[in-house]
Amino acid sequence: MLANAFVTNPLHLSAFGAGRMDQSRLFFRIGLRHMFIGQAYIALVDGAVGGYVHFNAAPDCLPLPEEIPLAAATVLKPLGEAIPNIIRWFSRWCHLDPAEPHVHLGPIGVDPRRQRQGIGSALMARYIEHLDQEKAAGYLETDLPENVEFYKKFGFVVKHEEEIIGTPTWTMWRPSGG
């Protein structure tokens, strides 16, 4: 489901090439197994997974930049020729990760057949509820201008904009207390 949701996103296109469902699927399989520690929720639609959200508190949200090459040589190894781009991509995200305490969002994805039906907003509401309960700040990265608008609806503001592996990306921040 996550691979379906993300396969046409610009960072996936840059890292894996067009239509590389195999690579996107492998990327999320590795992520689900090794990287997405923290809280995760799924949206069930007629008994099937229609959406997924994951969030995790800093400082355990991303590896340290110096840990990326080891990850590339071990858990990410099956991704083969995409590894140099993945190293460039995640090294930047790790460097940009704020030093201030925060709860990091990502990934969030909705089955393409189910998008624009409120599922993403429902998953975001669960995350925002957690931020408010914990009086925590929120942080995320994205690679689509329409997603920037989506996140603004939940109180996020753009913190930084940068081209990574040839695609514009944005980091966004939501102060504690919204």
Ligand X SMILES: CC(C)(COP(=O)(O)OP(=O)(O)OC[C@H]1O[C@@H](n2cnc3c(N)ncnc32)[C@H](O)[C@@H]1OP(=O)(O)O)[C@@H](O)C(=O)NCCC(=O)NCCS
**Residues that bind ligand X in the complex, under the rule CB under 6 A:** 5-6, 9, 108-110, 115-121, 142, 144, 146-147, 149-150
Residue with tokens 């090794």: 34
Question: Which residue in the shown chain puts its C-beta closest to ligand X?
Answer: 120
Minimum Å gap between C-beta 95 and ligand X is 18
Produce one character per residue of 23-60: b if its CB has 16 or more CB atoms within 10 Å, e if not.
bbbbbbebbeeebbeeeeeebeeeeeebbbbbbbebee
Nearer residue to ligand X within complex by CB, 81 or 161: 161
Are 24 and 12 contacting, i.e. CB atoms less than 8 angstroms apart? yes
Minimum Å gap between C-beta 140 and ligand X is 6
Nearer residue to ligand X within complex by CB, 54 or 68: 54
Alpha-carbon span 103 to 1, nearest angstrom = 24
Nearer residue to ligand X within complex by CB, 68 or 114: 114
Residue with tokens 């990410």: 76
Minimum Å gap between C-beta 73 and ligand X is 27
